[in-house]
A and B are shown apart, each in its own frame.
Chain A
Amino acid sequence: MCLGIPGKIESVYEDHGTKMAKIDFGGVLREACIEVIPEAKPGDWTIVHAGFALNLLSEEEARETLDILEQMSELAELEDQEHSG
């Protein structure tokens, strides 16, 4: 269920009073409704499902999680080297 993909907000506008945005999904542009993320502005990341933005995507959280995993990965490599060395 729920195929949602990340995209970057290009521009925001209104259609019959409903908040809409043009969103760039890595080279593919599509309109989506951003009524439930009214604070969204161009440059923000969001997750879109069926033409509807579900939430903002936190770049900070994304990087933090990845940083932790990258450190884990480096640590594991070091341990491997120690074991084999």
Chain B
Amino acid sequence: MQGPVCPVPHHHTDTVVIGHGSGGSMTRDLIRNIFQSHLGNAYLDQGNDAARIGLQNAEGEMAISTDSHVVFPIFYPGGDIGRLAICGTVNDVAMLGAEPAFLTAGFILEEGLPMETLTRVIESMASACEEARVQIVAGDTKVVEKGKADGIFINTAGFGLIPPGRDLGGQLARPGDAVLISGTLGDHGIAVLQARGDLGFESGIQSDVAPLNKMIAALLEAVSDVHVLRDPTRGGLATTLKEIACQSQVSIHLDEDSIPVKPAVRTACDMLGFDPLYLANEGKLIVVLPEDKVEIALKVLHNNPYGVMAARIGSVSENDPEQVLLKTPYGTTRILDMLSGEILPRIC
């Protein structure tokens, strides 16, 4: 036997690889090392889904967010790139407690994209705008040569007013708070993976992509002292909670039994070696709020079509700051870390 040997690590600092877009710690490091180090300022450094900007000569503040959408395939069960482009940005703005009002949309189209496809995407955007009650007020279109993009990429930016006195953010979780989730986890991640067809499985799983601003408005009307709202998109619940735990310098304790996951999503995860807590969601909301508001908050969420499966999943504590700890049904505990790179099926 030759004794201990070990490969030299590849950190991928020379070129961009797919994992830099996974929403986990590789993405975080890319943002820190390149974007924030050159472009950083007080607003960008807030580190929330949207920036909070003070307005001169007006009451309240403005929430601004932007998001690019490159999902493949363009259409998948339960959604498409158009609906995603509206909902993603509407939700990011709404997470600060703002009422999203205006959006901009930038399109990068690949030569050869059928007009019919483009029309279907735009119709879907229009219907999502109507549902979320937002308007697209500025836009841009670029066409690139065949092979330089993948059909259609969409960037949207969103703007909304934060009413005076409303203060929400990932840094505001407090020991003693409760943690809620608005519904089942992993639906979007599995639906998109299934639609790609590479892994050859079929199921009735649909993406959860939805605008959450109405549900959030109802929640904030009923509970004025919500501390954190966050949507667990790329990187999933685990990564998003880890971010909140770090921002607020607290620990978050979850009860695995209480976390809603559809049985088919769980099976797909068992089959591919995924953890549903790391899969992307596009219509789910994490709520961190004082313990005594749990009951009323759940009542409001349950009354909304996007919150029917809402559940209390954990609590915030001052011990072990920056940790997310999951209690299993066997009474054991495991630590949840951020997603590291791309999620890969584990077969062997």
**Which residues from chain A sit less than 8 Å from chain B, CB to CB?**
1-3, 5, 25-31, 49-51
Contacts and interface: CB of A to CB of B under 8 A. Distances in A.
A28 B347 contact: no
Interface residues of B, number: 17
Contact of A26 (B200, B202, B267): B267
Contacts of A27: 203-204, 263-264, 267
Interface in B257-304: 263-264, 266-268, 270-271, 273
A2 B201 contact: no
B346 interface: yes
23 contacts: A1-B348, A2-B348, A3-B270, A3-B346, A3-B348, A5-B267, A5-B271, A25-B267, A25-B270, A25-B271, A27-B203, A27-B264, A27-B267, A28-B201, A28-B202, A28-B267, A28-B268, A30-B201, A30-B202, A30-B271, A31-B200, A50-B348, A51-B200
A75 B194 CA distance: 46
A11 to B, nearest CB: 13
Interface of B, helix, strand, loop or mixed by DSSP: mixed
Contact of A29 (B202, B270, B346, B347): B202
Interface of B: 200-205, 263-264, 266-268, 270-271, 273, 346-348
B348 A28 contact: no
Contacts of A31: 200
Most interface-central of B202, B268, B271, B346 (chain A CB within 10 A): B271
A80 to B, nearest CB: 17
A26 B348 contact: no
A29 B204 CA distance: 10
B263 to A, nearest CB: 6
A20 B247 CA distance: 51
Given A26-B263, A28-B264, A5 B200 contact: no
A25 B194 CA distance: 14
A3 B273 CA distance: 7
Contacts of A28: 201-203, 205, 264, 267-268, 271
A5 B348 contact: no
A24 B204 CA distance: 12
Contacts of A50: 347-348
Contact of B264 (A26, A49, A51): A26
A76 to B, nearest CB: 16
A8 to B, nearest CB: 12
Given A3-B270, A28-B267, 15 more contacts: A3-B346, A3-B348, A25-B268, A26-B264, A26-B266, A27-B263, A27-B264, A27-B267, A28-B202, A28-B203, A28-B205, A28-B271, A31-B200, A49-B347, A50-B347
Contacts of A3: 270-271, 273, 346-348
Nearest to A31: B200
A74 B54 CA distance: 65
Contact of B201 (A1, A29, A49): A29
Contacts of B200: 30-31, 51
Contacts of A5: 267, 270-271
Nearest to B268: A28
Contacts of B205: 28
B275 to A, nearest CB: 13
Nearest to A2: B348
B203 A29 contact: yes
A29 B203 CA distance: 6
Contacts of B268: 25, 28
Contacts of A29: 201-203
A29 B201 CA distance: 6
Contacts of B346: 3
Contacts of B267: 5, 25-28
